[in-house]
Amino acid sequence: MNRVIHPIEVESYRRMRARLDTSHLPPLTRAVVERVVHSAADLDYATDLVMDEDELVRAHGALHAGAPVVVDVEMVAAGITRRETVCRLRDAVARPGLTRSAHAIRLAHEQVGPGALWVIGNAPTALEELLTLDADPALVIGLPVGFVGAVESKAALRESGLPAVSNVSEKGGSAVASAALNALLYHPTSPSEETS
C-alpha cells in the first residue's frame, strides 16, 4: 500500500523510538506495538499487548488478500483508513440476555462468515459474543476498554486459542483497536515496499 507519511507522524515515531526500543521485536509485532503506542501515546502498551508473530503473518496475508474486516462500533471503523469495514451496530437490537453490541456481532457473522478480521475496541460483550460463534477468524483484535468485563473478555480470547491481538489490562478502546489493524494494513506485503 502506497501511503504518504506526514512529517508529524515521522517525528512522532522518532520520539517514540527514542523512548522505547522495539528493535528486538519481529516485524509485524513491532508494527502493531508501535502503532498502538503511537495512537495512545502510552508506552505501557509495549508490555501490555499480547500477540503471536506467526498469527500476525497469516492475518496480514488474509487482510491483503481481501478478507472482510468487521468492527464492533463506528468509531473503530472511522479509525481504519483505506479499507471498508462491516459494522452492524445500527441494525442491532438489545434484548434480555443479549446486548446491542453482542447482537451486532451475530449479524456481522451471518453476513461475512469465516475468515474475517474482527476488530473489537469498545464492547466486552461484543468480544464475548464472538467467542461463542464458530467464526473461524483470520484474526481477532480484541482490545475493548473498561472496568467491567474488559479484562475477563480479553483473557477468554487468549484462552480460546483463536489468533488474536489483545492486552492484559483494562486499557483499550477504539483508537488502539483500529491502530492495531492499521499496522497490518500499512505494513508492506513485499520487501520492495519497505520504507522505514
Terminal Cα-to-Cα distance of the chain (whole angstroms)? 14
Note whether 52 and 163 are within 8 A (CB). Answer: yes
Q: Are strands 117-120 and 69-71 parallel, antiparallel or unpaired?
A: parallel
Q: Closest Cα partner for 140 from 175, 180, 108?
A: 180
Which residues are catalytically annotated? 38
Burial class (CB in 10 A: 0-12, 13-18, 19+), 104: buried
